Amino acid sequence: MPGLLIVNLGSPQSPAPEHVRTFLRDFLSDPDVVDFPRALWLPILHGIVLRVRPAKSGALYEKVWTEEGSPLVVYTRRQRDLLAQALPGWDVRYAMTYTRPSIAAQLDAFADAGTTDIRVLPLFPHWAPSSTGSIVKQIRQWEESRVHDAVRPRLRVIGAWPTQPDFIGWHAERLAEALAGAEGAVVVLSYHGVPNREVHRPQGYRAECEATTDAIARALREHGVDCPVYSTFQSKFGPGAWLQPATIDTMSELPGRGVRSVVLATPGFVADCIETLDELDVLNREAFERAGGEQFYRVPPINDHPVFARIVADLIRNS
């Protein structure tokens, strides 16, 4: 039986500061996420960030937490369940880059079950060292740890999918539905930002995001919708330049250009999380309305919509 491992970033075990601290420690210690010199960054991380941020971030997680737990984890589990139903004959599991279940633990489980063919799908449509790159590194480390095994599974990582047809079509349909009730609205497609430093390969990442934006804009025109469609970048962390324009700056500027209605979507996120439920729904909405905007509507990510299974089935066929 072949195996499929879907991987997302992860979330604290709970909003409690001690759990948030553990998550932030593991996440922000990854040199693919924060590429500052270790001798400079680690004292700042442990001496300042991990003392101040856990309580503040924990309060934000508390606002979006559900009875089932972290929205990101809840939807990832549901996505796993969707795929298990849609892919009979496959052993489908999920892992998180920085929390449990870990990538290594799930690969161990596959190997112990005798699985010889494993596909790994990073749940990031656009490739970046800080997301898919970190997943690939963990896979390589696991392979090195099993180098003396008599039988090792064949591992294949499914690459970026910025223009997968069902992925594009689903976003265009949801946006067209939202635009039908928002006269004169513009579309903003918000992607997770990355630092504008070569180590993060920002131009390649931007090109993939722009490919998604262009494909969605074309699909919208096929639906009879022709309106401005903008690419923006969110979730800046720390000093230094990141990809521009920033989503929150765009929200503050649009009303000054005469825009009163905005429909926002997040094609870089396949599940709701703190970045969509708080950063966008609260902070960016407030920025737009404070500047004079009147209608702010966010199209949720794919989450557990059945189209997710079609997207993944197509990616597997073409991997």
Confirm or deny that 192 is annotated as ligand binding.
yes
CA distance 213 to 216: 5
Q: Which domains does the chain have, with CATH numbers?
A: 2-160 (3.40.50.1400), 165-298 (3.40.50.1400)
Residue 260 predicted with pLDDT over 90:
yes
pLDDT at 154: 95
Strands in the chain per DSSP E: 3-8, 91-96, 117-122, 154-157, 186-192, 229-234, 261-265, 295-298
Is pLDDT larger for residue 195 or for residue 147? 195
Strand order in the sheet with 229-234: 229-234, 186-192, 261-265, 295-298
pLDDT at 238: 85
CA distance 296 to 311: 28
Q: Please, what's the b/e burial string for 53-79 (b: 16 or more CB within 10 A of its CB; e: otherwise)?
A: bbeebbebbeebbeeeebbbbbbbebb
pLDDT at 183: 85
As a whole-number percent, the residues of the chain with pLDDT over 90 amount to: 95
pLDDT at 114: 95
pLDDT at 150: 85
Residue range 10-43, pLDDT digits in tens: 999 999 999 999 999 999 999 999 999 999 999 9
As a whole-number percent, the residues of the chain with pLDDT over 70 amount to: 100
pLDDT at 151: 84
| pTM for the full predicted model | 0.97
Residue range 198-248, pLDDT digits in tens: 889 999 999 999 999 999 999 999 999 999 999 999 999 988 999 999 999
Read off the pLDDT of each residue in 150-179 and give the average, rounded to a whole number: 97
pLDDT at 182: 86
Read off the pLDDT of each residue in 167-193 and give the average, rounded to a whole number: 96
pLDDT at 181: 81
Read off the pLDDT of each residue in 179-183 and give the average, rounded to a whole number: 88
Read off the pLDDT of each residue in 164-189 and give the average, rounded to a whole number: 96
CA distance 277 to 298: 10
pLDDT at 319: 85
pLDDT at 129: 96
* Contact call for residues 150 and 307 (beta carbons, < 8 A): no
Residue 46 predicted with pLDDT over 90:
yes
pLDDT at 280: 99
Confirm or deny that 19 is annotated as ligand binding.
no
Residue range 282-307, pLDDT digits in tens: 999 999 999 999 999 999 999 999 99
* Contact call for residues 67 and 38 (beta carbons, < 8 A): no
H-state helical runs in 261-306: 274, 285-290
Residue range 56-92, pLDDT digits in tens: 999 999 999 999 999 999 999 999 999 999 999 999 9
Residue range 102-160, pLDDT digits in tens: 999 999 999 999 999 999 999 999 999 999 999 999 999 999 999 888 888 999 999 99
